[in-house]
Amino acid sequence: MSNEATRAPRATTAGNEWITLLCDNGRTGGQRARPFDSPSRARWQLRLGSSVRSAPVLYQATLYVSSLAGHLHAVNVETGRLKWKFEATGQIHSTPSLYKNKVLFGSDGGRVYAVDRETGRKVWEVSTQGEVWASPVVRSGVVYFGSADSHVYAADADSGKAHWKRQLRGRVYSTAYVAEKNLYVGCGDGHVHSLDAASGNILWSMATGNGIDSSPALVGDTLFVGSEDFFVYALDAGNGAVRWKYETGLGISSSPAATGDMVYIGSKDGFVYAFGTKTGELKWKTRAGEVVTSPLVSSEGVVYVQSSGTTALEAATGKVIWRAGLGGSVQGAPVVAEGVVYVAGNGGDVYALE
């Protein structure tokens, strides 16, 4: 496959492209986080009243946070006050995505919603036959998402009108990576699948030893993903051939973050691992907690990880720069912007730390 077929655009927050989980390979949610000292206080704390199992996303001065109560919340980041709340069908494990003036997300009720980000009013919804934990991702005006009903769906991102759906052989909790012509997604059947973005036809499938909830990242023509078989894989994006793989201590549901010539991923063994993208050489590994399942965030020489709090690691060495502990467990990735860390916890609290 040519480089043109797998080349990724530079994603733009709330623009026309949101091609993977949390927008880009760095999982930054479209933000550019500059390194800063350890947070020393909470600017504000908002109690939602229900556990949060997904990552928040930020656009301008509004933070969008979903919860297991089935609500999507829009929070003013200056004040910590609620702007609006949208009620979905079923719990929400799906991390929101942004597209134009819409917030897109899935629910355990089998729906994918597009909600006006200013008013909280529903623009459209699409129904599936299983819970949707994956994030909807957008490329060239088309939204793609997987469902626990074993299908991957494509629909018009402006109207929700169906384009195609493709049945796989297991639940799809992994968020797809959408390149120019292809999309890549992990599946509960233990395979990584490459699909034609226009038709949904399966181009290739590569088997691992267990299910895949990890969301892939694409760098050049190499695809990175973790599996519950303990391994992180680097695959040829054109045919699925394994270029290298590395065994960690436990299963991997964390999603890799890739910047430059490095790729970072967490494991349920509690470590964060850093590899050279081309060779798979282990550059460093650092213990971040008992278990790491959240996506990593990599920006401006720092890797951020959630595991019972937020840890900032030096991207080049793995050295701990700072840790910020919070009450209760935190599973979703943090949003880091303008010297503030926004995190949401299993206890239902949202924090702005500075």
3-state SS string over 204-245? EEEECCCCCCCCCEEECCEEEEECCCCEEEEEECCCCCEEEE
Mean pLDDT of the chain: 92
Read off the pLDDT of residues 205-217 as tens digits, 9 standing for 90 and up: 999 999 999 999 9
Count of other CB atoms within 10 angstroms of residue 290 = 11
Which carries the bigger pLDDT value, residue 150 or residue 330? 150
Three-class secondary structure of residue 138 per DSSP: strand
pTM for the model: 0.94
Q: Is the pLDDT of residue 303 over 90?
A: yes
Q: What is the pLDDT of residue 338?
A: 81
Quickly state the pLDDT bin for 10 (edges 50, 70, 90): very low
Q: 3-state SS of the chain: helix, strand, coil percent to 5?
A: 0, 45, 55
b or e along 184-216 (b: 16 or more beta carbons within 10 Å of the residue's beta carbon)?
A: bbbbbbbbbbbbebeebeebbbbebeebbbbbb
Q: Over range 25-47, report the average pLDDT.
A: 86
Amino acid letter for position 343: V
Please give the radius of gyration of the chain, using alpha carbons only, rounded to the nearest integer: 18
Q: Supply the pLDDT for residue 260.
A: 84
Longest CA span, the chain: 51
Our CA angle for 178, 181, 187, nearest 5°, is 45
Residue 313: partners with Cβ closer than 8 Å, 6 or more residues away: 272, 286, 288, 302, 303, 304, 305, 319, 320, 321
Q: Domain 10-33+41-353 is in which class?
A: mainly beta
Q: Alpha helices, DSSP H only, in the chain?
A: 3-6
| 74-127 pLDDT tens trace | 999 999 999 999 999 999 999 999 999 999 999 999 999 999 999 999 999 999
Task: Give the rounded percent of residues in the chain with a pLDDT score beyond 90.
Answer: 78
Six-digit token string for 99: 């597209």
Sorted by where each begins, the domain ranges of the chain are 10-33+41-353
